[in-house]
Amino acid sequence: MRKIFIFGNGNLSFEDFLQHYVPVLEQTCDDPDTEYLLCEFRGVDILALEWLKCKTPRVTLFHMNNRPRYLPDQFRTHVNEWTIKGGYQSNLERDLAALHACTHFLGIDFNTDKFRKSGTQKNIETCLKLKKTRLLALQ
pTM for the predicted model, two decimal places = 0.95
pLDDT for residue 138: 75
What are the boundaries of each domain within the chain?
2-89+100-110
pLDDT(139) > 70: no
Fold of the CATH domain 2-89+100-110: Rossmann fold (3.40.50)
pLDDT for residue 48: 98
CA–CA distance, 138 with 127 (Å, rounded to integer): 20
Q: pLDDT digit string (tens) for 2-37?
A: 999 999 999 999 999 999 999 999 999 999 999 999
Q: pLDDT digit string (tens) for 53-90?
A: 999 999 999 999 999 999 999 999 999 999 999 999 99
Tell me what the mean pLDDT of segment 114-126 comes to: 96
31: Cα separation from own chain's centroid: 17
